[in-house]
Structure 1
Amino acid sequence: MKKKLLFMLLLLASSISEGGATEIVFRAQVIPKGSMIRLGDMADISAATPERMHDLMTTPLLPVPAPGTVQYMQRNALRDLLASRGVDTKDLFFGGATVIEIGDAVKKTIKQKEQKEKIVQPKIQEEAKLPISKAVVVLRKIGVGELVRESDVELRAHPGALPSNALSSLSEAVGMEARRQLPVGYVLRKNQLRAPLQVLRGETVTVFARTGGVSVKTFAIAKQDGAQGDLIRVQALDKKELYMAHVSGRRELEVLATGHSAQELATLERRSARR
C-alpha cells in the first residue's frame, strides 16, 4: 500500500513538472555587483526552456544598497516584487533562504575586526612560557534566545588552556542564538549557541515533498523546536501520523520524495484531496 502511495506522489510531481514548473532557490547572502540587483544575482534558477531562464535571471528587482550598508529582504516580499515586475509567478516554486542579506558590510566588518585583534603575546607571558590562545568573549549580557550581534562579542587573548569547545572566531558566534544566559566576560563555547530556531514546538507548519523542482505540500504540527537543517518530528493535523522532516525555513519543513516520510506525506496529500 505504501509503495502505491509513493508512486502516486511521484506521478503527481512528474505531471506538474511536465507543465513547465520553474524552481527559484534564494541564497542566504548576496554580494551586489553593478548598480542593479537582478533575480539571477539572488537565486539559483531552473526553468523548462533557455528563454524562460534568461528572462527570469535578467529581471531587475532593486537597486544595490549604499556602500557599507546591509539590506534584508523576505522571500515573500521578493515574490511580490517579481509579480510587480510583470512576471507570472503561478508556475514558480520558491525555496531556499527565507531572509536574504544583501550587501557585504557584515562579513567585511567581521573579517577586519578579527585581523585588527590578532593576538600579540605579552612579554611577561613569553617569559613564563604560558600558552596564549584566542577566545571569543561576551561584551554585554546576552539572554536566552537572543541573537549574538557583532557588537556583543570580541576576540581576546586568553592565557593558559581553554575548553576544547571554546570559540576562536567571531564568525562562529555572530548571528547565532544563545541557549542560556551569557554574562559579560564569559568565554563562549559551541554548545552554548545554536542556529536561530525556525520552527517552534506546537506550531502549524507547511511540509513539502520535493522532486525535480516540483513540490507537493501538506500541513502538520511540529512536535519539537528546530533550527535550519534540523530533523524533527511532526504530526499530521488529524493526529494519526507521526513522521520526521528537515527544517528548511520559517515554519517550513521538507521530506524527500523517497522513503517512509514521503510515503506518509503522500497519504496525507491523498486524504486532503478527498476532502
Structure 2
Amino acid sequence: MRFLLLLLTFATAPLVAVAADITLLENAVGVSGALVRLGDVAKVSGAGAERLADAPLMPSPAPGTTQYLSAGAVRDLLAAQGESASVHRLRGAYRIQITTPLGGSARVDAAGSAWDRPSPVASPAESLGGAFRVRRSAVSEPVGVRNVAVRRLSPRDTRAVEEAVAAAIQTTLDAGREADRPRLLVRRVELTDTAVRELAEHAGAAIEAVVDGSPVGSTLTAQVGLADDPNHDPHRVVAHVVEQPLRLVVVTPLSRGALVTSSSVRLEPVPLEEIDSHQSTGYTTLEEGLGREATRPLRIGEALSDANTAPPLMVRRNEEVEVVSGGGGVSVSMRVIATQEGRIGDLISVQMLDRNERFPARVVGPRRLAVLSASPSVANLVQPGGLQ
C-alpha cells in the first residue's frame, strides 16, 4: 500500500508542476512592441510563468488607440498554442482594455524585427493564422476569434445591435405595464461604441434588459446584457420612449353614407412611423366615431377622422320637415319643404308649402329645424292654427 501511495505521488507531481496561475488585468496601459503578449495583460506565476508570459495574443493597437480582449479570447488563443486552459488557473477581469501609448512610427517585436500592421484579410481566422501561426483546428469558438481580430463595424451591424437592444427594452416595458396605463414605445436607443462592438460579437445570443425606474421626460435608462452569460457585465443604455396612442380603424368595409357602429370599428395602436412623422391619428375613442356617417367608401384598416366621416344627415333635400320657433313661453311650429340637406347645426334654406317663399332655419334633429326668434317675416309665414 505504501508503495502505491508513493507511485501516485510521483505520477501526479508533474501535473501540479506545470500548472500556472494567470490573473487577467482590467487595464493594460503602455503596451509596447508589435504584439500584445500574455505578460502584458496578466500577472503570471507558477511553473512555466516566463514561457506563458511571452505567449503572443494579438497585434498591438495603433498608437493612441484602445482595443478590448475578453477572457474567453485569451483562453482560446492559449489553447490554439497548445496551452490548455484546464491545466492553468485563469481568473481576474472578464474584459481587458489594451492601450498603446503615442509615439514611435515603427514597433519592434521581441526578436528585433520591425512589424507592420497587415492589410485587411478575408476572415479573422486567416488573420490569426498568418500573424501567430495558430493551428486552425485548435480554434473552436469563432466568437473568441472575433474578439481578437477587431474589425470596423458596418452601419448594418450597428443597426442590428440597436434594434435588438430596443426590442429587449420593449419586451421589459410591455411585461411590466399596467392595464390602465398607456404603452411606452421605444423610439431609439443610445449605446457606446464598446457596447455595440461587444454585443455584435455575440450576434444571435439572447439579450435581456432591466429598466432603471420610471422615465424622466421622454428618456429612460436600462442595463442591457447577455441573458445566458451571468459573467457578462451589462451595459448602460439610454432609450428614448413615447406614449403610443390608440386610433379608431375600420374592421368591416363601409360604403358611402353608412353609419359607423361598434361592430364596424375598433381601437388599434398607432404605428411608430406615423407617430414620428406627426401624422394626424384621427379619432382616439369609440365615442368620437360612433354614429357618424362615411363620406366616402372606407377600406379595412383605414383610420376614422373628420376627413372621411361626418355627422349623419338629419334633413334631406325636398323632404317635408318641421320648423319650430319660440320665445316668451310660446312655441310655434309649421310644416315646410327643405331645399337643402343638412346635419346637426347646419343652417339651411326651407320653403313654404303653399307658396314660393323661403327663409333660413337651423337643423336641430331628424327632419326638425328651428329659428331662434319669430321675426316679423317669419311670423307672417306662420299659418293660423300653427300655434301650439
TM-score, normalized by length of structure 2?
A: 0.36
More helix by share: 1
Q: Which has the higher contact order (CA 8 A, sep 6+)?
A: 1
TM-score by length of 1: 0.49
